[in-house]
Structure 1
Amino acid sequence: MKTIILMRHGKSSWRHNVSDRERPLKTRGKNDAKLVAEEFIKKNDCPEVIFSSPANRALSTCKIFTKTLKIPENDITVIDDLYDFSGESVINFIKQLPNNLNEVMIFGHNHAFTSISNIFGDNFIDNLPTSGLVKINFENDNWKNLKQGTTEFIIIPKELK
């Protein structure tokens, strides 16, 4: 069995004159990421590996999450291809994962994560909000052959407040 956990970055700030890649999290984004991480701990063990987009908002969300889960920051692998909004690069990345990995967590962006959740999950999501998390399980032993899976759970920060 293979499992993907997708976590969209927290709410980011547009107040800074920086490139899209460098946009920081707002306070709300930081708080929501911690809230979702705390809920995730109740539902799941730590994933085997954690990958993140290099974008500041995604990597910052990832670091908040790993700190909450007491996972060392050096366990995060930053992958340039995860700075993707369509989902194509993320899907290609997932399909190239080594088969010795069974549960991976990826921090990234929309529309990619809403699209991937709807392609592979069995629970339609209109829009995965910031700090939203989706866990999808697959009855499959080979990442290259991923097809429709089962959405185990979705965590939305608004529903935790």
Structure 2
Amino acid sequence: MRRLVLMRHAKSSWGDPGLDDHDRPLNKRGKRSADALGDWLRKQTIVVDEALVSSSARTVETLQRLGIDCDRQVLDQLYHAGSGDMLKALKTRATGQTILMLGHNPGIAWFARDLMLAQPDHPRFEDYPTGATLVARFDIDDWNALQPGTGRFEAFVTPRDLIE
């Protein structure tokens, strides 16, 4: 069995209009959200072996604030990646049992929908807001064997579920 934690970066700052999109950091709310998501993962006893992370500042900062000690690959190919690119990265780069992928919308929302056998009953799954996190398991021995539509739901949460 393999487990995937598919997370959209936490809320980013638009405070500096001259800053390139790739370089935007988290805002105050995003920092609180990332901290809460890290606490939630620990409470769920989800132990991530490896993280595949977009190279943007906000995704890297989200990972740092989660407080996860794991191998990590920061990948330019995940910056605004579509579903197909995310699948390719997972199949060719992932080696651990439990993988965290941190990326951006709309690609991450499309990827989540494409992977699942049945969609979670959560009102925010379709739009996958910042910090949205899906946990899915796959009955495979190697990530290269992953096929769309085979993910089994374990959990879905948004920061608003945790903080309010």
Give the structure-1-normalised TM-score: 0.88
Q: 1:28-51 CA distances to partner (integer Å, 9 max, x unpaired)?
A: 000011111111111123211112
Structure 2 residue identity aligned to 1:133: T
Partner of 1:83: 79
Q: Whole-Å Cα distance in 2 between the matches of residues 65 and 77 of structure 1?
A: 15
Q: Whole-Å Cα distance in 2 between the matches of residues 127 and 37 of structure 1?
A: 21
Gaps of 5+ in 1: none
Q: Whole-Å Cα distance in 2 between the matches of residues 45 and 4 of structure 1?
A: 10
Q: 1:77-114 CA distances to partner (integer Å, 9 max, x unpaired)?
A: 2111111342221111112135x522111111111111
Gaps of 5+ in 2: none
| TM superposition shift of 1:145 | 2.4
Partner of 1:102: 97
Partner of 1:155: 157
| Number of residue-to-residue matches in the alignment | 155
Mapping of residues 1-161 of structure 1, within 5 Å: 1-16=1-16, 17-66=18-67, 69=68, 71=69, 75-97=71-93, 100-121=95-116, 122-124=118-120, 125-147=125-147, 148-160=150-162, 161=164
CA contact (8 A) 2:83 2:114 kept: no
Q: Whole-Å Cα distance in 2 between the matches of residues 60 and 87 of structure 1?
A: 22
Name whichever of 111-120 and 80-89 sits farther off.
80-89
Q: 1:12 to 1:92 in 2, by over 3 A?
A: same
What is the CA RMSD across the aligned residues, in angstroms?
Answer: 1.6
Give the structure-2-normalised TM-score: 0.87
Identity %: 26
Please identify runs of 4+ aligned residues in structure 1 that moved more than 6 A. Answer: none
| TM superposition shift of 1:76 | 2.8
